[in-house]
Amino acid sequence: MSLPRSLTSLALLSLVAAQAFSQTSAPITLPAYGADPLQTSVSGLSSGAFMAVQMQVAYSGSIVGAGVVAGGPYYCAANNVFYAISICMGKGMIPIDPSLLVSTARFFANQGLIDPLKNMDQRRIYVFSGTADTVVRQPAVDATVEFFKEVGVKPAQLQYVNTLPAGHAVITPNYGNNCAANAPSYISHCNLDSKGYDQAGELLTQIYGPLQPRVDTPAGQMVSFNQRTYANAATSMADTGYLYVPQSCNAAGANCKVHVAIHGCKQSVESVGKKFITDTGYNNWADNNKLMVLYPQVNKSSYLPSNPEGCWDWWGYTGSNYAYKSGSQMKAIKAMVDHLTQQPKASM
């Protein structure tokens, strides 16, 4: 997937399910489920990983952990697309300075633009970089790890997996491209110690602690919902988002956790169908662990400012406040989560 590799002008600045679950036929208003507001986490690949970092740092008071797969540190691009496609992807002549980014984040926090950074010492972080990743190279991801260390994440709560010979992809035990591939749909299968590597399970375990076993066939419900309630078309967000709801989370008082899984560039439903939603393994872990999985969507856009590869905004195409709590995409995702934590209305 690549993050925007061809952005060289102003115009460029800016399935059949493999698992069994029921799906609503048309977008609806996102239901309220009474989810636990103290158990929200986030993860993503590539531009989704940069967004996951932004969400974790900006909303550190309410997001308890993050999984970062091939993503750089907070505010790396500094509202500059040329930094984004070079330095922040580990390809520039100038290395990333994590200390400078920590200082910037502290300034934003002091201005009230993001949550206080003192919250980060309570957060749990998983970071992954494949040794064969040619899109976001390891120096950029190394800087993400150093950023989290300097911003206060405790060593025991920070896991960095960086020895697997993987390309640019979400990693599964047995689905997708060969391990070293850097190609659509940016889902690959890899082995670690002669066993299939289950990245969804690994990052969720890092965030939440030991989990109940995954299921082979998820039995919950996939809800499609209207994202226009939360973001207009100018944000590049799609009309429709998706939510996986285990059967256990439909029960009164279920108090389920919410995990936000954020796709990368060229990886939305518009680009690859529902592969990121159905084949990355999150839903398999959700059923037995009272975990709802939110899959927000962003589409390609050709109007200015442009987002031609369907990337989340981590360099400023939606506005200079993209990494603040007030950023349009950030605020939309947070509003979705907040709605899930509301108590459902009693039926008549």
Active-site pick, 2, 43, 46, 188: 46
Per DSSP (E only), the strands in 129-239 are: 158-161, 170-172, 187-189, 191-192, 195-196, 221-226
Active-site pick, 115, 133, 279, 313: 133
| Residue 55, burial from CB neighbour count under 10 angstroms (0-12, 13-18, 19+) | buried
Active-site pick, 60, 168, 279, 306: 168
Q: Is 168 a catalytic residue?
A: yes
Give the span between the Cα atoms of 146 and 109, in whole angstroms.
19
Please tell me the pTM assigned to this model.
0.92
Residue carrying the six token digits 């899109």: 135
pLDDT digits (tens, 9 = 90+) for 279-328: 999 999 999 999 999 999 999 987 756 899 999 999 999 999 999 999 99
Give the span between the Cα atoms of 107 and 113, in whole angstroms.
9
pLDDT digits (tens, 9 = 90+) for 234-280: 999 999 999 999 999 998 789 999 999 999 999 999 999 999 999 99
What does the mean pLDDT of the chain come to?
Answer: 91
Q: Is 14 a catalytic residue?
A: no
